[in-house]
Amino acid sequence: MSDVIKLPSYKKQSESVCCRFKELHKRPIKLKLEGLSKTFHTSKGNINVLNSIDLAIHRREFISVIGPSGCGKSTLIRILAVLSRFSEAYPSQLSGGMKQRVAIARALANQPDVLFMDESFGALDPHTRSQMQSYLLQIWRNVDVTIVFVTHDLDEAIYLSDRILVLKANPGEIQEFIEIPVPRPRTSKQFLCPEFLAVKKHLEELVHPKISEEDEPSELPMVRMTSGHDVVE
């Protein structure tokens, strides 16, 4: 993608985006962690999952958390949900747009200050997922709620968020906290705008680094090979 379009720096913000972040940082802090570490004590030994996490999330921010599987995203938001008093955990992996809408209405009926969503749209087909993303933004614009959203989908994270917290694994540490330079209100047309593509390229480099040739498997594992005459193409 970068070969075709000269992308700007993913840190470069337009004046309106810069002003928005200045205003956002003036809002009270809703969630704060200082030097959080988490170790699970298991029969196989201790697993140090999270290390030295410092975090401050402002009122009505939309934060996404991304990172490789097992880096501690769910552990982090479980801890945040227990540290914050007026919060609601939105169910994960519901299928169907209607069930999702009912779940959002239920979660917001308790008037939480913070809504935690852990891969909540992961079971949806792409069309319903994109409808739910727009619906969630519409709700967030109109309701006084801070949202912490875990996802593996980079487009989803950029489209929804003010900031993206990128975790790295073993142990889970903050790799970067990125302010999204894409202006609001967001629309699906922005998926191809230079700011969006610049952030996506940077996130891809962080979360899906290129595998070196030495790490790539050179041969297929020997599992019941077909005989010579059984040709499928």
Ligand X SMILES: Nc1ncnc2c1ncn2[C@@H]1O[C@H](COP(=O)(O)OP(=O)(O)OP(=O)(O)O)[C@@H](O)[C@H]1O
69 lies in the site for ligand X, by CB under 6 A: yes
Q: Are 147 and 115 in contact (CB under 8 A)?
A: yes
Distance CA 41, CA 45 (A): 6
- Pick the binder of ligand X from 70, 95, 105, 141 (CB under 6 A): 70
Q: Are 113 and 27 in contact (CB under 8 A)?
A: no
74 lies in the site for ligand X, by CB under 6 A: yes
Q: Are 73 and 150 in contact (CB under 8 A)?
A: yes
46 lies in the site for ligand X, by CB under 6 A: no
The residue count of the chain comes to: 233
- Pick the binder of ligand X from 25, 27, 39, 40 (CB under 6 A): 40
75 lies in the site for Mg ion, by CB under 5 A: no
170 lies in the site for ligand X, by CB under 6 A: no
Residue 47 binding: pick among Mg ion, ligand X, none (C-beta 5-8 Å cut-off by kind): ligand X
Residue 177 binding: pick among ligand X, Mg ion, none (C-beta 5-8 Å cut-off by kind): none
49 lies in the site for ligand X, by CB under 6 A: yes
Contacts with 115 (C-beta within 8 Å, 6 or more apart), sequence order? 87, 88, 90, 107, 108, 145, 146, 147, 148
- Surface-to-core class of residue 21, CB atoms within 10 Å of its CB (0-12 exposed, 13-18 middle, 19+ buried): middle
- Pick the binder of ligand X from 75, 128, 134, 190 (CB under 6 A): 75
For ligand X, which is the closer residue by CB, 67 or 181?
67
Distance of CA 45 to the CA centre of its chain: 29
74 lies in the site for Mg ion, by CB under 5 A: yes
Q: How many CA atoms lie within 13 A of 55 on its CB side?
A: 32
Query: Could you give the string, one character per residue 91-130, with x where binding to ligand X holds by CB under 6 A and - elsewhere?
Result: ----------------------------------------
Residues that bind Mg ion (CB under 5 A): 73-74
Residues that bind ligand X (CB under 6 A): 40, 42, 47, 49, 67, 69-75
